[in-house]
Structure 1
Amino acid sequence: MGILLEERPLLISTFPPDPRQERLAVVFVVLMSLVFIGSLPLRNLQLSRLDLFVPILDTILFIIDLITAALLYAHVSVLGSRSLLALASGYLFTALVIVVHALTFPGAFSPTGLLGAGIQTSNYLQIFWRAGLPCAAVAYALLKEGEPRSHLAGNSTGILILASVAIVFVAVCGLTLLVTVGGALLPDIMVNGERRIWAVDAPFIIPLEIAAIVLVWRRRRSVLDLWLLVVLSAWLIASLLVSTTAYRFSLVWYESRFYGLLASSFVLLGLLTQTTTLYARLAISTIMQRSERESRLMQVDATLAVVSHEVNQPLTAITLNGTAGLHELAKENPDNSTLEVILKDVVRDGHRASEIINGIRAMFRRDDSEAEELDVVVLIENALTLVSGDVHEHGVVIETELGSKLSSIKGNRIQLQQVIVNLVMNAVEAMDAITTRQRLLSVRANGDSDRIVMEIEDSGPGIDPEMNDTIFDPFVTSKSKGTGLGLSICRTIVESHGGRISAVNNSRGGAKMVVSIPAYRPQDQ
């Protein structure tokens, strides 16, 4: 039985690209295009033959494509996506074909190549290699169109992956036999080991690559789609370069091989980069969960202390009333009216204890992660109360400017309180090195009907200009013993509430953290 996975932007195949990634992709394509155009006047320039060039390059391509295929198969095992399965199969195909290409290339390991290769063999394998990924990209785009965004990952996924690997392996073996044992059945496309008759791949490969680019472009929605477009663009430029010359070991021939190397690298780099980013987010999420768990434990301790006090009161009263009742009953002539009063007191105190216990049960049944309407001023004051001891210990003076008629916000009280505590403690610790001026911490809150803005400003040394762009990134810190996760957690919490957080240096030289949260408007709910 399969497990329905809730769609979350956790993998490169589902994670939407951000503007920075889109700009970077455009830059890569433009640069590759400019280099291509610049090399056209030199397309007939012949360079020295390097017999080791092809086996070395093909080895690198094999490693890159095989790792990429393995990572994509890992995504398939999680999502059960048939479109990703097609793309992973394409990368596995190119990885295996390029091995055979290296073995059969004339001059690499023997004058005519290994495996009984002839003059035509390696060039046909090069054509198969160039066609493999565009075909896989076309299948990927077509299969993705009808694929649900929440995929079914079940027991059959592993069987599909094994079947895919087997089919690709058989296909590569079959093509290898065709171009070696059955080479005489194929038309000649090479005059000798360095010159071909005509660019037989141009009428077939280039239209296929263009079709793949168009299909992926129309169905793009993830980081994987973005980098696949860059890969296909590099593949197209390489094919255009090859079509401009009939000679191996020319400038454009070497250049086309480097474009092939770039094309193979883009998706792998995207997978590795996104994996690193997601690992950092997972670390932040784990730390947040631990922090919330510790916060809940502290709340439980405090609650139990209050409950113990509250429950002890009715229990003590019940005990005293019970003792008084026994004394009354021990008399020769007990007063029934007195006993009635005592018993009513016992019943009342029993109900009171029951209400306290029911209140505790209701509290633990409540979902703490559920958003609630929050008073910003109370939220800030409670956070400052929590850190008042540390602030005093560090010799910091706090001044507050909290608006009297601020709109409320809606969110998780514990998480937003944690943001304020983190920012205040960061500011307090940053002022430890200040000895020539007052250690002043300013906390302000203002806003309108749309947004609430909280500002936490200190008189410390300020933010290092080199950290302006990375201060909220995971594991970035200026503290010798810091983890670099505090501000990253703050950003995650604020953004999960639809807000923004920024950091600037103030006119006094210190740092100012600005948190903006949407105001709560019940009419929009």
Structure 2
Amino acid sequence: MPVDSPHDLPLVISSLPPTRQQRVAASAAAIILLVIAMLVAPFAHLQLARIDVFVPVLQTVLSLVDLLTAILLFAQYAIQPHRALLAVGSAYIFSGAMAFLQTLTFPGGYGPAGVIGDGNNSPAWFFVLWHTTFPLCIMAYAFLKDEKPTSRIAPAKSLAMTICGVVAAIVVLAWLVTANVALLPPFYTGSITQQTRFGNQINIALCLLGAITLAVLFVRRRTILDLWLMVTLLAWIPNFLVAAVASSVRFSLGWYAARGFALVASSLLLSVLLTETALLYSRLASALTMLRRERGNRLMSIDAATAAIAHEIRSPLASIPLNVEAARLQLGMEPPDLANVDVILQDIEAASLRVNATISSVRELFKGSGTVTTTIHVEAVALQVLRLLEHELQLHKIQVAANFFTPGHYVHADPTQVQQVILNLVKNAIEAMSPASGRRELTLSSRSERGSALLIVQDTGPGVAPADQERIFEPFFTTRPNGMGLGLAVCRTLLERAGGKLALARSGPEGSIFEVRLPLAQNESSASKHDPGRDLA
């Protein structure tokens, strides 16, 4: 099924931009890896005991981690069919397969001279293939990631073709470096611990390839996936530096540390995928629970209200035509019984008054239902709305600026109703900016003006047409195809009950500015002692 717009894409890490917390976490991980590498570097040449089980245990785990990561990435491709995800998923298949094949060829691993290969140079060539195919696939991902999703080939067929192609490439490359390794330049001569000069040069080349891929991905970074792929590539670099500069021997401290970096690099993205999947599932479950609860409460309320209204109105309305018929009969008598007619007319009048009273009572019921006024911090309510809509703002790539007055304004109103008003204005701004191809900026600011707190919501959408600007607050008037035309009308009514006002200050091709005005609370000093939302940091 084709995706019509990038805004219709599901909430997966390959389409979501990173939050500030995620950027901080990635930066912290990168700094920790670099610090550990710097601490190990001076002692990297120290030769340690040969532990034959180290490589098979570590790299078997590494292979499983990479293959699990590839499965999760391909699962995301099934949700969002984008060729870039096939590229990065292929990178992890190559990584897991090459790591396991190198383990089979490593001397002392699963056999004294390995299970396949020559036991000397085959492991080194698998290492080269491992760290060549992975960055090349990541580079392909970097260039494909901004491409629009396509539906020319079914996702299942594309996935199957990609996996078959990767497996075929792995088989051919494995045959080349095992059965025909004698035709390739050697990495080790005689000793399995000392590299040749060619081996050092290859490690430098692999380091440069990783650095170039990291630079390309950094320039084209957009999403959470980009962020953690950069950390993964950064984690691989000490592996090459240790082999090329600090130590050129197997089973040294640097060699063991480099394998540890390899395991960390492979585990990073899997950890992020599992964490983000759990978080998204948690948010989805909470949202569904709230929607079901809200729907159930709404249906119960509507059913009870309509039943009560129907009962209260149906009885007097049913009595009116009967009384009218009785009055006609009395008037048709000779002589007319005017006394009974007068009684009947009084009954009709009472029935009509009862219907009117019922309608008025219903209006009063809904007018004051659920209103709990208290002293609130209007900026804190606005920040809460931004947190509620954080993922929607990220998905639509809208930059948000909150330029609030400090220490903030306190107003006396219903916090739920004020939140509903701000939420409606922000969602309207998001919908207004969604089709726009230019800059998308949402600005919330506040100031005080003539004893009132003024909250300003500004967007960079196409604006409201001049002919519609006077009507947008009218009930059932809407400029959207699926709109009901009640949002702004309800928001204005809610603010007017609190003594405030909602107005469209300006609208044009550069965007719209809505102003929420609420009277300042008289006891601001006491409110600041009790309001938990006074900190805007």
TM-score tier after normalising by the smaller chain length: 0.5 to 0.7
1:164 counterpart residue number: 162
Alpha-carbon distance in 2 for matches of 1:333, 1:131? 112
1:486 counterpart residue number: none
Cα 1:333–1:200 shift into 2, 3 Å: farther
Alpha-carbon distance in 2 for matches of 1:286, 1:404? 32
SS at match of 2:373: helix
Measured after TM superposition, the shift of residue 9 of structure 1 is: 7.1
1:187 counterpart residue number: 185
1:229 counterpart residue number: 230
Measured after TM superposition, the shift of residue 306 of structure 1 is: 3.8
Cα 1:300–1:405 shift into 2, 3 Å: closer
Instruction: Output aligned runs, 1:426-437, within 5 Å.
Output: none
Cα 1:211–1:45 shift into 2, 3 Å: same
Cα 1:167–1:6 shift into 2, 3 Å: same
Alpha-carbon distance in 2 for matches of 1:284, 1:34? 40
Alpha-carbon distance in 2 for matches of 1:8, 1:411? 28
SS at match of 2:532: strand
Alpha-carbon distance in 1 for matches of 2:413, 2:123? 77
Query: Which of 438, 442, 454 in structure 2 is aligned with 1:449?
Result: 454
Alpha-carbon distance in 1 for matches of 2:209, 2:254? 21
Q: Aligned letter for 1:176?
A: A
2:288 counterpart residue number: 286
Measured after TM superposition, the shift of residue 307 of structure 1 is: 2.2
SS at match of 1:449: strand
The percent identity for this pair of structures is: 33
Instruction: State whether residues 375 and 409 of structure 1, in contact with CA within 8 Å, keep that contact through their aligned partners in structure 2.
Output: no
Instruction: Output aligned runs, 1:211-226, within 5 Å.
Output: 211-226=212-227
Q: Aligned letter for 1:2?
A: P
99-108 or 16-25: bigger deviation: 16-25
Alpha-carbon distance in 2 for matches of 1:220, 1:235? 19
1:2 counterpart residue number: 2
Alpha-carbon distance in 2 for matches of 1:316, 1:517? 60
Alpha-carbon distance in 2 for matches of 1:84, 1:200? 32
Alpha-carbon distance in 2 for matches of 1:117, 1:408? 73
Measured after TM superposition, the shift of residue 274 of structure 1 is: 0.8
1:522 counterpart residue number: none
203-212 or 65-74: bigger deviation: 203-212
Instruction: State whether residues 117 and 177 of structure 2, in contact with CA within 8 Å, keep that contact through their aligned partners in structure 1.
Output: no
Alpha-carbon distance in 2 for matches of 1:154, 1:329? 81
Alpha-carbon distance in 2 for matches of 1:11, 1:154? 22
TM-score in terms of structure 1 length: 0.65
135-144 or 323-332: bigger deviation: 323-332
Q: How far does the alpha carbon of each residue in 1:364-401 deviate from its partner, in whole angstroms, 9 at most, with x for none?
A: xxxxxxxxxx99994538xxxxxxxxxxxxxxxxxxxx
Alpha-carbon distance in 1 for matches of 2:270, 2:100? 19
Please say if 1:147 is aligned against 2:165: no
Q: Aligned letter for 2:63?
A: F
278-287 or 307-316: bigger deviation: 307-316
TM-score in terms of structure 2 length: 0.63
2:13 counterpart residue number: 12
Instruction: State whether residues 10 and 79 of structure 2, in contact with CA within 8 Å, keep that contact through their aligned partners in structure 1.
Output: no
Alpha-carbon distance in 2 for matches of 1:515, 1:331? 76
Cα 1:173–1:375 shift into 2, 3 Å: farther
Cα 1:77–1:516 shift into 2, 3 Å: farther
Q: Aligned letter for 2:202?
A: D
Measured after TM superposition, the shift of residue 54 of structure 1 is: 0.8
RMSD: 4.4
Alpha-carbon distance in 2 for matches of 1:306, 1:403? 36
Measured after TM superposition, the shift of residue 25 of structure 1 is: 1.7
Instruction: State whether residues 2 and 155 of structure 1, in contact with CA within 8 Å, keep that contact through their aligned partners in structure 2.
Output: no
Alpha-carbon distance in 2 for matches of 1:183, 1:447? 81
SS at match of 2:112: coil
Q: How far does the alpha carbon of each residue in 1:316-341 deviate from its partner, in whole angstroms, 9 at most, with x for none?
A: 23342354156348746889xx99xx
72-81 or 317-326: bigger deviation: 317-326
Paired residue total: 395
Instruction: State whether residues 409 and 517 of structure 1, in contact with CA within 8 Å, keep that contact through their aligned partners in structure 2.
Output: no
1:258 counterpart residue number: 260
Instruction: Output aligned runs, 1:469-484, within 5 Å.
Output: none
Alpha-carbon distance in 2 for matches of 1:447, 1:188? 80
Stretches of structure 2 that go unaligned for 5 or more consecutive residues are: 375-409, 425-450, 458-515, 517-528
Q: Aligned letter for 1:47?
A: L
